[in-house]
Structure 1
Amino acid sequence: MLEKEIKKLAEEINESQEIMLALGDEMRQHLILVMMQSGNCSGMRVNDIAENMKLSRPAVSHHLRILKDAGIVKMRKEGTKNYYYFDADMVAFDKLINMLVHAKNIMSSLPDRSGND
């Protein structure tokens, strides 16, 4: 039974890998917070994000591309201007949450291995 659950968990981890990698970076976590704290729901331009984060435009663009590819950030064009906004793919987030809950359930079903009685 446990072997089957661990195999299923491995599949869930594989499916969540892109979003975990995107969210696992401290700079990208900060970028998401900057965007959310700006209060500008319509989005922010790379220059504005770079200024708030004290990063170069290329560095911000790199992080935004990773977040966009993972479905965490979206981009809207207005003429020649690009606006990025936090609007996560709920399916990807739900997969991540389900994987974490599944891992927690497996761990809680295992006996105490710490040696502390």
Structure 2
Amino acid sequence: IEATGAAHAPAAAIASVRRGGRVLLVGLHGAPRELQLTSMILREVDVFTTVAHVCDTDIPAALDLLTRTDVARITAGPRLPLDTLVDEGLRPLAERRAAGKILVSP
């Protein structure tokens, strides 16, 4: 599930899914994105999109999924104290070395 809308995220999600896997794109993008279609075809990757969500139904289901599975651990990056955000969070992000979401504690 790619929900960030980050420029590199759709290609990264598609590249990291297993052969025959599925990728759901829900992050919104402000510009066109290029994808490696030949690789997707040869690996039989299915790509789905949606904006059809109902908050009363989807948010509780999503929260349940996060509590019952490893999705949160896999997709979340480091938890950083606010005073280390620049060196340990923003700099790796700017240098494209960050993985997952960067969570900040006050």
If the length of structure 1 is used for normalisation, what is the TM-score?
0.21
If the length of structure 2 is used for normalisation, what is the TM-score?
0.22
Query: Which structure ranks higher in relative contact order (CA pairs < 8 Å, sequence separation ≥ 6)?
Result: 1
* Rg comparison, structure with higher value: 1
Structure with more of its chain in helix, by fraction: 1
